[in-house]
Structure 1
Amino acid sequence: MIQVKDLHKSYHMGSNSLHVLKGINFDVKEGEMVSIMGSSGSGKSTFLNILGILDEADSGSYILDGVPIKNLNEKIAAKYRNEFLGFVFQSFNLIGFKSALDNVAMPLYYKGMKRKERLELAAHYLEKVGLADWSHHLPNEMSGGQKQRVAVARALVTNPKVLLADEPTGALDSKTSYEVMELIQEINSEGKTVLIVTHENDIANMTKRIINLKDGVVIDDNLINQHILKQHV
């Protein structure tokens, strides 16, 4: 699903250059659930931005579902993001004046889907994350956990190949974090490929594989015995 080979990325600030990624090699098979860990400055956010087609590497190759991601103009990059990827962020990134239903339906607007179909599909995914009764509520009427569930529904509504989650539990308490991770495990068990950036060991242990980055390189990559949260029947 994801093949990354010898990825390098530097940022130039005046006469200085900061070499952030220093030759990343990384493969993810379809249906895997992988966490990416590393301290601040390790390069994990830069790496996630490249995987999310929000930034581009200076050299090396990135292939997503058989498609080389290279030299894309913004229109094509946006099309690939919408087609291949679903994003979940620490800060939820919901639109405050729109209902949960409209927030979830938003990516479908950019696909050119008619409003009635958009709302029907959005309602289906809100039900899937357990928030059917909250579809007409605004984000400020919801708890952090509920907002993150809306964000997960929005990420899934386009049926992406890969779910990318950047510190998805960072703004949540432990109990709510586990509820969100239980939902993400459920999504993975249905066959969706999931990548999670986290600095929390207990969250990483809920995935199936842990990649550790340090100073822009992969220092270890291990399959683990996943801590499976109780699945709701």
Structure 2
Amino acid sequence: MIEINELHKSYQTGANSLHVLKGINFSVKEGEMVSIMGSSGSGKSTFLNILGMLDEADEGTYFLDGKPIRNLNEKVAAKYRNQFLGFIFQSFNLINYKTALDNVALPLYYQGVKRAERTEKAMHYLEKVGLSQWATHLPNQLSGGQKQRVAIARALASDPKVLLADEPTGALDTKTSYEVMELIQKINDEGKTILLVTHEDDIAHMTKRIVNLKDGLIIDDSIVTQVRADEAQRKAAAHV
């Protein structure tokens, strides 16, 4: 699904060059659920931007679903992003003046899907995340957890090959974080490939594999025993 070899990325800062990624080798099979961890400055944001086709490496190769991701103009990159990737952000990135339903339907609009079909699909995914009764509500009428569920529905609407989740629980309290992770785990159980960036150890252990970045290199890549989010919720509730 994802194959990356000897990936390098540098940025010019005045007269100096900052070498951010220093030869990343990384692969993800279809259906995996992987968390990427690393302290500030480790290169994880740059790495995620390259995976999301928001930035491009200086050296190395990146294949996504067998397609080489290299030297894409913005039109092709946008097409590939819409076709292959769904994004979930810490800050939700919902459009404030559009309803939950319209926010979810937005990727389908860019795919040229007709309005009736867009509405039907968007409602299907709102039902999937348990928010069909909130379809006509605006983002400012929703809680943080509900906003993230709308964002997840939007990410799923175009049926992407891979979900990229950038700190999806970073703006949520523990209880809501575990509820969102329970939903993300269910989506992975259905076969969706998920890459999740987090700085929270408990959230990372709700995935099936943890990759640690430090100073632009992968220093550890381990299969872990997945903690189920619903179990974590029960344990947390028992200690209250």
Shift of 1:230: 3.1
State the secondary structure of the residue aligned to 1:230: helix
TM-score (ref. length: structure 1): 0.98
Give the match for residue 54 of structure 2.
54
TM-score (ref. length: structure 2): 0.95
Aligned: 1:4 with 2:20: no
State the secondary structure of the residue aligned to 1:98: coil
State the secondary structure of the residue aligned to 2:230: coil
Identity of aligned residues (%): 76
Cα deviation code 1:56-88 (max 9, x no counterpart) = 000000000000000000000000000000000
Aligned: 1:124 with 2:124: yes
For the residues of structure 2 that align with 1:184 and 1:106, how far apart are their CA atoms? 20
Give the match for residue 148 of structure 2.
148
For the residues of structure 1 that align with 2:75 and 2:118, how far apart are their CA atoms? 22
User: 2:9 is aligned with what amino acid?
Assistant: K
Give the match for residue 36 of structure 2.
36
User: 2:218 is aligned with what amino acid?
Assistant: V
Shift of 1:13: 1.9
For the residues of structure 1 that align with 2:113 and 2:27, how far apart are their CA atoms? 33
CA contact (8 A) 2:178 2:230 kept: no
State the secondary structure of the residue aligned to 2:229: coil
For the residues of structure 1 that align with 2:13 and 2:116, how far apart are their CA atoms? 48
Shift of 1:100: 0.1
Give the match for residue 236 of structure 2.
none
User: 2:121 is aligned with what amino acid?
Assistant: L
Aligned: 1:82 with 2:82: yes
Give the match for residue 194 of structure 1.
194
Shift of 1:228: 1.3
Cα deviation code 1:131-154 (max 9, x no counterpart) = 000000000000000000000000
For the residues of structure 2 that align with 1:136 and 1:15, how far apart are their CA atoms? 52
CA contact (8 A) 2:86 2:155 kept: yes
Q: Which runs of 5+ in 1 are unaligned?
A: none
> Which 4+ stretches in 1 moved above 4 angstroms?
none
Aligned: 1:20 with 2:20: yes
Cα deviation code 1:25-51 (max 9, x no counterpart) = 001000000000000000000000000
For the residues of structure 2 that align with 1:103 and 1:49, how far apart are their CA atoms? 22
State the secondary structure of the residue aligned to 2:116: helix
For the residues of structure 2 that align with 1:40 and 1:229, how far apart are their CA atoms? 26
Q: How many residues align?
A: 231
Give the match for residue 211 of structure 1.
211
Aligned: 1:158 with 2:151: no
State the secondary structure of the residue aligned to 1:76: helix
